[in-house]
Amino acid sequence: MPFPREKLEKILSSPSPVGNLRWSALEWEVLRLWQEALEGRFVLLHAGAVSLPGRGAVLLPGRTGTGKTTFTLALVSRGWTYFSDDCAALDPDTLDIRPVPGAAHLRGTPRGRGRISLRTLPSETSPTGTSAFPRRRHLPLPGESSPVRAILFPAHDREDLPPGEAVPLAPGMAAYELAFHSMARGQQSFLRDFRAVCRLARSVPAFRLSTRDLDRASLLARDLLA
């Protein structure tokens, strides 16, 4: 959904001290335009995406509120490269991910903010939220891509998931859940995305992962790419 134009113009024309709001509005608009441009070429999934140099990437699909942004930022604070916290761009031919620009948006403030080492600002898109900007050293190089090596469905509130274990998800179920997280608009994109996520689910292992303990979950994610 585009940022309301009147609101955008009002924010952009306002003097300080609304610089943070001005940035959030701009960032929102840039992200929207970027997504429109990406959608023709890439499968856009409601997912976080991070990579480890030389080892590949993990996708973190999830509904809003499952903790994918928190887990994405936790991994970034432990040396992973930030591709996206909410909208992952997957190449349907190579099954590599590409970076999607934009701040990470949290409902509250980041857990373990000191360790995460982010610049944070109040979010314009959520009154109680925070926009987190990963440092340059956490970002991929322009045009960088990374092959997806695992899919992790994070959940911070699932008490049935063992905290120190990645629970394997059968590939058919993983494909179904990935298709559910497709952000495609239009039949042609949707069918391309459906085929791509089925290929991905056959190609790489998928797991459910409790992220209540971010340290343990981060170690598990690293082990999966070993």
Residues in contact with another protein by CB under 8 A are: 170-173, 175-176, 179-180, 187, 190-191, 194-195, 198, 201-202
Nearer to another protein, 83 or 207 (CB): 207
Write out the E strands in the chain.
Answer: 43-45, 47-52, 56-61, 81-84, 88-90, 96-98, 104-106, 119-122, 130-133, 146-155, 166-169, 206-210
Q: Closest separation between CB of residue 207 and another protein, Å?
A: 14
Q: Report the SS3 class of residue 137.
A: helix
Of 95 and 217, which CB lies nearer to another protein in the complex structure?
95
Least distance to another protein from the beta carbon of 191, Å? 6
Task: Map tokens 């598990």 to a residue.
Answer: 220
Measured from the CB atom, the residue of 63 and 202 that comes closer to another protein is 202
Least distance (Å) between residue 84 CB and another protein: 23
For the CB of residue 195, give the shortest distance to another protein in the complex, in Å: 8
Nearer CB in complex with another protein: 115/195: 195
Q: Which is nearer to another protein, 25 or 179 (CB)?
A: 179
| Intra-chain end-to-end CA distance of the chain, in Å | 39
Shorter beta-carbon distance to another protein: residue 45 or 73: 45
How far is it, in rounded angstroms, from Cα 150 to Cα 69?
17
**91 CB burial (10 A radius; 0-12, 13-18, 19+):** middle
Task: Report whether 181 contacts 125 (CB < 8 A).
Answer: no
Contacts of 82 (CB under 8 A, 6+ apart): 50, 72, 76, 99, 104, 134, 138, 139, 140
Helical segments of 96-180, H only: 113-116, 171-180
State the nearest-atom distance from the C-beta of 148 to another protein, in Å: 17
Q: How far is the CB of 194 from another protein (least distance, A)?
A: 5
